[in-house]
Amino acid sequence: MSSNGSATALRRLMKEYQEISQNAPEGIMAGPSDENNFFVWDCLIQGPEGTPFEGGLFPATLTFPKDYPLSPPVMKFTSEMFHPNVYPDGTVCISILHAPGDDPNQYESSSERWSPVQSVEKILISVQSMLSEPNDESGANIEACKVWRDDRKQYNRIVRRLARETLGL
């Protein structure tokens, strides 16, 4: 990747940081981990009301490629997370973060996947929405899918415990 590409990415990230700093969606905070590196951001997502995630504050990182916004960032929760669409290592698996173009598994339409018109704000709103409405058809965490489908009370107990732990309770 040329340094010109990463300069374009840096300008875009600086603009998005300014926008999200001035007008953050409710329950979402995000910004560079270090003012000297705009390619890694710390994020904090409040658990959506009316879900077992409610009350929790879930930290995550966004790591941007040098060719952003042509390619999507990688999002990873840094606290323990039990969710059908989050891999056991914390990596988030949702359509908006999948590379542009056609899905080789023909599960997603290209319109659901990453495109350069997406933004940090749209990603974080999508992830917050994903917490409310898991997609158990394309599970990243098979155990969480199984518990979510077969024993919702147990799923809710596990998630509520993790939400409390994010607050140090």
Q: Decide: helix, strand or coil at residue 99.
A: coil
Q: What is residue 2's predicted lDDT score, i.e. its pLDDT? A: 45
**pLDDT < 50 regions, the chain:** 1-2
121-159 pLDDT per residue, tens: 999 999 999 999 998 887 899 999 999 999 999 999 999
Residues with a known catalytic role? 93
Closest C-alpha to 156, from 134, 127, 123: 134
For residues 46 and 56, what is the distance between their CA atoms, to the nearest angstrom?
Answer: 6
Domain 4-166: CATH superfamily, name plus number? Ubiquitin Conjugating Enzyme (3.10.110.10)
Could you tell me the maximum CA-CA distance found in the chain, to the nearest angstrom? 52
Q: What is residue 110's predicted lDDT score, i.e. its pLDDT? A: 61
Q: What is residue 1's predicted lDDT score, i.e. its pLDDT? A: 42
